[in-house]
Amino acid sequence: MKSELLRILREAGDECVSGQSLCERFGVSRQAVWKNITQLKEKGFEIESVSNKGYKLKSEPDILNAPAIESYLPKDCICKKAVTYDTIDSTNTKAKQLAEAGEPEGILLVADEQTNGKGRRGRKWCSKKGANIFMTLLIRPKTEPKHLSGITLLAAMSVAGAIKDVCGADTKIKWPNDIVLEKKKICGILTEMSSEMNYVNYAVIGIGINVNDDDIPDELRKNASSIYLETGKMTNRNKLTAKVVEKFDEYYKKFLETNDLSQVVDKYNSMLISMDSEVKVLYGMAETADPKEEETGIARGIDKDGALLVETKDGIKSIV
Ligand code: BTN
């Protein structure tokens, strides 16, 4: 009820919403409405009670809050349930535990702080409290494991699109799924899955976004930043979280129609930082200090399976 209540108050803008209309809408007593309003106020929502007129939403706090996230989601969204944590070891770890216990597709876990945040290739993900977004969405796609990398690319597009809509900032995707703003990484994505040979049991899509952080550790500052540090603007994290999920929902439904990225390739390529620019391809031991072989070429975007197409002197090569 709280998420719907917030949605109604937000949509009413400067108008008051009468207690009576809320009672009728939810089929509950005035006291029940008042109790929910009080609980929202306790969470930091500023709701004015105007005598004989009703309730007005004056401001929303930047505190991660499940009803607030849900209140921004479209009705037919894959995500029906958000759970927020003050502190957790890792939202990916928790999502995998829930998946193993039979949790259906669509639950979203969001934390204010992680004590054991996981990055790709066994790295840690730095997880300062109170300023960033650490979120994981559980999905159970009816697809083969080989298609999962494509789904991670959808998540990258969702983050870039959401940041554009909510913060007005133009981010780019560094293939396959880092998000950069002013050439600095502000978001990383870690997808983990449980699968059989031809069948995905579940996948957890973990997304870490540096949002209002003004204190990126010195050793990371050269290559990493936050939305706040690059734009000077604070962002409502509930709204941004929900927008990422809304965008993902849209792209994911398109993906499932064809089991590939054919419907979103152009969109992805429009966000690709290296599009039509020179890139260095490292073969074999990619991303280690000692790559076996390297070659330069011009990035020509991804194909429908998410591989990066690079034009080299020997023709187009497909990098997976
Ligand atoms: C990367 O190395 O770029 C990927 C980082 C992914 C971090 C996110 S934060 C939410 C989720 N929970 C984790 O433990 N990791 C992912």
Where in the chain are all domains bearing CATH 1.10.10.10?
A: 2-59
How far, in Å, from the CA of 58 to the mean position of ligand 1?
34
Distance 313 CA to ligand 1 centre (A): 36
- Separation CA 130–CA 290 (nearest Å): 38
Residue owning the nearest CA to atom 2 of ligand 1: 119
Mean pLDDT on 90-114:
97
Residue appearing with tokens 């945040």: 117
Tokens standing for 245?
């999920």
Residue closest via CA to ligand 1's atom 15 equals 118
Range of lowest pLDDT (31-40, 157-166, 249-258, 264-273) = 31-40
Atom from ligand 1 closest to the CA of residue 114: 14
Contacts of 286 (CB under 8 A, 6+ apart): none
CA 27–ligand 1 middle distance (angstroms): 41
pLDDT > 80? residue 284: no
Pairing status of strand 107-111 against strand 81-85: parallel
Tell me the CA–centroid distance for residue 114 and ligand 1, in Å: 10
Q: What is the pLDDT of residue 29?
A: 87
According to the model, what pLDDT value does residue 299 have?
95
Q: How far away, in angstroms, is 67 Cα from ligand 1 center?
A: 23
- Nearest-angstrom CA–CA distance, 119 and 224: 14
Query: pLDDT confidence of 303, banded at 50, 70, 90?
Result: very high
**Helix, strand or coil, per DSSP, at residue 121:** helix
Res. 1 pLDDT band, cuts 50 70 90? confident
Give the pLDDT of residue 294: 83
Segments of the chain assigned to CATH 3.30.930.10: 66-271
Across the range 255-279, mean pLDDT stands at 95
Q: What is the mean pLDDT of residues 120-134?
A: 90
Mean pLDDT of 136-149: 93
Q: How far is the CA of 104 from the centre of ligand 1 (A)?
A: 21
Q: What pLDDT is stored for residue 285 in this prediction?
A: 52
Instruction: Locate CATH 2.30.30 in the chain.
Output: 278-319
Over residues 54-64, the mean pLDDT reads 90
What lines the ligand 1 site, CB under 6 Å?
90-92, 114, 117-120, 123, 125, 134-136, 188-190, 206-208
Mean pLDDT of 257-268: 96
* 156-195 confidence digits (pLDDT tens): 999 999 999 999 999 999 999 899 999 999 999 999 999 9
Residue 262 CA to ligand 1 center (angstroms) comes to: 27
Q: Check whether 308 has a pLDDT greater than 80.
A: yes
Options 3.30.70.1140, 1.10.10.10, 1.10.3720.10, 3.20.20.150; CATH of 2-59:
1.10.10.10
- Rg of the chain, C-alpha, whole Å: 21
Closest-lying ligand 1 atom to the alpha carbon of residue 177: 3
Across 80-97, average pLDDT: 97
Q: How many CB atoms lie within 10 A of CB 133?
A: 24
Region 300-307: mean pLDDT is: 95
| pLDDT band at residue 14 using 50, 70 and 90 as cut-offs | confident
Tell me what the mean pLDDT of segment 4-11 comes to.
92
- Which CATH code fits 66-271? 3.30.930.10
| Token pair in block for residue 129 | 């409290």
Domain 278-319 has CATH 2.40.50: no
Instruction: Tell whether ipTM is more than 0.95.
Output: yes
Which of 84, 134, 180 is the best mutation target for the ligand 1 pocket, counting ligand atoms within 8 Å of the beta carbon and taking the most?
Answer: 134
Ligand 1: which atom is nearest the Cα of residue 116? 14
